């Protein structure tokens, strides 16, 4: 008998969250300050996505989008995108991550993590529209993507 799949997911999120927080701090983000974050679930059906959204609504989550994936080979074909205002230090706490994974597991879904944008460290106004864009930072590979 192998490790509990939920524990494996939680461990994976913990490792990614550590990297993400390090990147956000490099960008000058105060991890204790509440800010808008995006949270993602991969779901087997629209009904499962809506049940997850209803379950976590009491924690301040609101639905941004529920959409069917274009990838016909995927078992989890519905994407749930939620928004929440919260401090990053709360979002990376193992209890919080475990609650998101548990909500997903109860509905045969997968918690895919969270992402946010970050204000740039550089003082003063940016001189080009490109410099004005906040870098996108996602839960898998912290990046600065000017297309966001």
Predicted confidence pLDDT, tens digits, the chain (148 residues): 778 889 999 999 999 999 999 999 998 889 999 989 999 999 999 999 999 999 999 989 999 999 988 777 677 789 999 999 989 899 899 999 999 999 999 999 999 999 888 764 433 333 333 333 444 444 433 333 333 3
Measure the CA–CA gap between 78 and 42, rounded to whole angstroms: 6
121's tokens:
């460290």
Q: Are 82 and 53 in contact (CB under 8 A)?
A: yes
Q: Are 115 and 64 in contact (CB under 8 A)?
A: no
Enclosing H/E stretch for 62: strand 62-68
Distance of CA 117 to the CA centre of its chain: 11
Q: Are 111 and 5 in contact (CB under 8 A)?
A: no
Measure the CA–CA gap between 18 and 140, rounded to whole angstroms: 11
């Amino acid at each position: 008998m192998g490790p509990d799949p939920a524990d494996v997911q939680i461990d994976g999120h913990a490792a990614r969250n550590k990297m993400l927080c390090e990147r956000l701090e490099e960008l000058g983000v105060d991890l204790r300050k509440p800010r808008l974050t995006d949270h993602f679930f991969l779901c087997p059906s629209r009904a499962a996505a809506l049940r997850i959204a209803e379950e976590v609504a009491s924690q301040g989550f609101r639905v941004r989008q529920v959409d069917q994936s274009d990838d016909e080979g995927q078992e989890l074909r519905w994407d749930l995108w939620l928004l929440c205002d919260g401090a990053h230090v709360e979002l990376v706490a193992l209890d919080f991550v475990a609650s998101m994974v548990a909500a997903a597991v109860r509905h045969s879904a997968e918690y895919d993590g969270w992402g946010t944008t970050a204000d740039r460290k550089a003082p003063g106004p940016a001189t080009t529209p490109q410099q004005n864009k906040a870098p996108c930072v996602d839960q898998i590979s912290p990046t600065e993507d000017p297309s966001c």
